[in-house]
Chain A
């Protein structure tokens, strides 16, 4: 269906090609998963399929990309609209109309499909993606998962033979992501559409993938079956790492597969892990005490009377679904956000990294941002040395907006740390980060805790919480519903547990490290 023949892509002013001599073919009806670290050319690879690269982005494409026998060299992307449907990361950015129904019809209007046909296709698509109840709703009142489903529907109504999705869940919370991925797998099975999907929540999609393309970062792309590629790939979910460690063959790709292998492993493991899931730096010294915090937005109480104490050296994960009051609580603890009642006693300065970290950056270069941070209350060079300890090798001359999401986060964190806060709050820092960037962030947070700071990180990511947190606080409807040591809270319910716990339950193991400590 899709053929790449000796394809190389070089952007203007780049010394290296992003893709080099890629030759592969994707047969009809496959679910093809594209993996690889961020910034290695996944989006470029996807963009070539409908000709957005190079027609829209610029750059040079050597070789030939063809879909259903038509070469992208001969036609601009708009002429491919009937053949290839494209869904991007941020659904809102691609919306042209303002209601669900009109958005679904937009692509067909452009393709001059007869009104009677449009009507039936819209109805079919509404049912297929479970959007029928939302048909008259405004696009901006929908939740993230619903918006992304509308975007997929809008691409599908033109009946494309190929559907290209570039990290469709990276901006969504887990519930929204589940929604979208469930919809995608259903499309593959029910409609037989060829789907090319870039996704970093591998654990959710791998079981359904027929083929994996691994974009290595040096321009090469490896194509093969999921088990073969994952056995070699650096980028893999914890489950696969566990499978490799235990030497399971074939490599399990779902929790269910792994549990069928895990019986013998469970017997060899002691009932209590011999080592904790992480080495805690907590000292027991109170860094911040908050009592009776209430935050009200209009008629809605976002936080309802929360009492919480934070301790120096402790990493706390703040969890809970979207709208449970995590952000409001963090902003209230910092003091910059609204607080209707309650009081916060902070023994030390408090720093907060907001959800959209780039909102804090407004200068042209990294160097200018860093020296601005120094001028705001630190010795010259402080910010630079903090940044280097967090993420080495970001040049002063780079533009902050050109950095990867992980690097931007490190830069903002460095700026906020320059004024030496004793309490560091991070709002959803893992959004859009791949496994490598998450691991780097985990090391950073551990480093901050070892310096005696109290760290609070709001996150949806259970795997991330299992690696970094000493303590987990769960919020629901603005109230604390669980507060305790991470192993206790995270193993309490199977649906809220990290993958390794799911595989080894009822044994309370959280991380790969704990198993390595036993097996050696």
Chain B
């Protein structure tokens, strides 16, 4: 019997990042389309009924915009047209001065250039949609809760900021409305002042009250930790995070030596682990209804990782199939193993439990 529950947010993020890694390895439009399909399937099947979960279609719109921009730029700034290109149509060309050679505005638009722009755009859009999928599948605020103890304060700051923003909007609307009541309405800078000051006063009052409330509710109890150990934990965690970022960049960008990427990644993991260990030595805080990590989490994260590994290693199939050539123009192949791997990532839709019916925001 499988009960409905929210999957651990980290599992969704691992899955999405793994898929993004896979997408960055290929420029095969068929594989990219397959990844889009998998994202769509999983998001439709497993997103909860909450406001943050409805964001996915905004990411899709953004994706289309990215592709469109890419194509338009490639057509207007057309360069490197070879004799083999199929010319679709010719744009009126702008005459640029002699010394401005190298950049060409307008001119012939070729099929190959347009296709390569579409594929590039698709790859970028695919990365964006992976992040979008993670955001719609896992509540961003719950994801912040899994931040290790050493970064807890950061998580609280973000959560508070997220809930204060709508209040600020409400307060601006209220003051702007009230301003209509006063005779001799001001314009320009004075009008700005008459709205900004009451709103700022409001915001200040509110933050003082919030600070007092949090203080009386035990926020910032230090427990047994000394200031020195807290600073050390913070430094280790930050260094670790930076290492992870650099390492991830190194691994994803083919022009960076692989060894550098792996070293950065490993150093990041080591620092973070040390910080975590040090931070958890002083448990002065617990978590209400922590998300469990059970086999569905392992499966979902595993599906994603397998896909990423298959596409990154390029073993068991012809790696050239991942990046089909445009000269001569031909229908791309669909390599079997990568296809199966991407479909496997789609299994997350069935491996994860259904989201709870009551909107658990």
Contacts A/B (CB < 8 Å), 17 sampled: A56-B211, A78-B219, A81-B218, A86-B216, A88-B213, A94-B209, A96-B213, A99-B360, A109-B286, A111-B221, A136-B360, A351-B181, A352-B181, A353-B181, A359-B179, A359-B198, A401-B201
Cα A361 to Cα B167 in complex, Å, equals 19
- Interface set, chain B 278-310, CB cutoff 8 A to A: 283-290
A81 touches B159 (CB 8 A): no
Residues of A within 8 A of B216 (CB): 50, 52, 77-78, 80-81, 84-86
Interface membership of A68, Cβ < 8 A: no
Interface membership of A385, Cβ < 8 A: no
Residues of A within 8 A of B181 (CB): 334, 336, 351-354, 360, 416
Interface membership of A115, Cβ < 8 A: yes
Interface membership of A158, Cβ < 8 A: yes
- Interface set, chain A 75-101, CB cutoff 8 A to B: 76-82, 84-86, 88, 90, 92-99, 101
Cα A78 to Cα B218 in complex, Å, equals 4
Contacts A108-B288, A336-B180 known; 14 new A-B pairs at CB < 8 A: A76-B215, A78-B215, A98-B141, A101-B288, A106-B288, A109-B285, A110-B217, A111-B221, A113-B286, A136-B358, A158-B218, A362-B197, A362-B198, A375-B184
Instruction: Kindly state the interface size class of chain B when it binds its partner.
Output: 35 or more
Interface string of A339-381 (1 = CB under 8 A from B): 0000000000001111010111110000000000101110000
Interface membership of A299, Cβ < 8 A: no
Residues of A within 8 A of B198 (CB): 358-362
Residues of B within 8 A of A337 (CB): 177
Interface membership of A394, Cβ < 8 A: no
Contact of B160 among A96, A108, A353 (CB under 8 A): A96
Cα A79 to Cα B219 in complex, Å, equals 9
- Interface set, chain A 92-136, CB cutoff 8 A to B: 92-99, 101-102, 105-115, 118-119, 122, 136
Interface membership of A476, Cβ < 8 A: no
B217 touches A154 (CB 8 A): yes
Min distance, Cβ B151 to any Cβ of chain A, angstroms: 15
B360 touches A106 (CB 8 A): no
Interface string of A408-450 (1 = CB under 8 A from B): 0000000110110000000000000000000000000000000
Interface membership of A224, Cβ < 8 A: no
Interface string of B213-255 (1 = CB under 8 A from A): 1111111110100000000000000000000000000000000
Interface membership of A140, Cβ < 8 A: yes
Cα A314 to Cα B279 in complex, Å, equals 69
Interface membership of B206, Cβ < 8 A: yes
Cα A105 to Cα B287 in complex, Å, equals 9
Contact of B218 among A52, A94, A110 (CB under 8 A): A110
Residues of A within 8 A of B86 (CB): none
Interface membership of B174, Cβ < 8 A: yes
Interface membership of B359, Cβ < 8 A: yes
Cα A311 to Cα B187 in complex, Å, equals 35
Min distance, Cβ A320 to any Cβ of chain B, angstroms: 21
Min distance, Cβ A85 to any Cβ of chain B, angstroms: 8
Residues of B within 8 A of A484 (CB): none
A105-B288 in contact given A52-B215, A110-B218 (Cβ < 8 Å): yes
Residues of B within 8 A of A263 (CB): none
A94 touches B287 (CB 8 A): no
A94 touches B221 (CB 8 A): no
Cα A95 to Cα B214 in complex, Å, equals 8
Residues of A within 8 A of B220 (CB): 78
Interface membership of A192, Cβ < 8 A: no
Cα A166 to Cα B124 in complex, Å, equals 55
B178 touches A107 (CB 8 A): no
- For B185, give the chain A residue with the smallest CB separation: A376
Contact of B177 among A90, A106, A158, A336 (CB under 8 A): A336
Residues of B within 8 A of A353 (CB): 181
- For A95, give the chain B residue with the smallest CB separation: B163
A136-B361 in contact given A110-B285, A115-B288, A119-B289 (Cβ < 8 Å): yes
- For A106, give the chain B residue with the smallest CB separation: B217
Residues of B within 8 A of A416 (CB): 181-182
Residues of B within 8 A of A351 (CB): 181
A111-B218 in contact given A94-B213, A376-B183 (Cβ < 8 Å): yes
Interface membership of B57, Cβ < 8 A: no
Min distance, Cβ B185 to any Cβ of chain A, angstroms: 9
B215 touches A77 (CB 8 A): yes
A118-B286 in contact given A81-B216, A107-B218 (Cβ < 8 Å): yes
B193 touches A362 (CB 8 A): yes
Min distance, Cβ B36 to any Cβ of chain A, angstroms: 32
Interface membership of B166, Cβ < 8 A: yes
- For A154, give the chain B residue with the smallest CB separation: B217
Interface membership of B212, Cβ < 8 A: yes
A88 touches B209 (CB 8 A): yes
Residues of A within 8 A of B166 (CB): 140
Interface membership of A274, Cβ < 8 A: no
Residues of B within 8 A of A419 (CB): 183
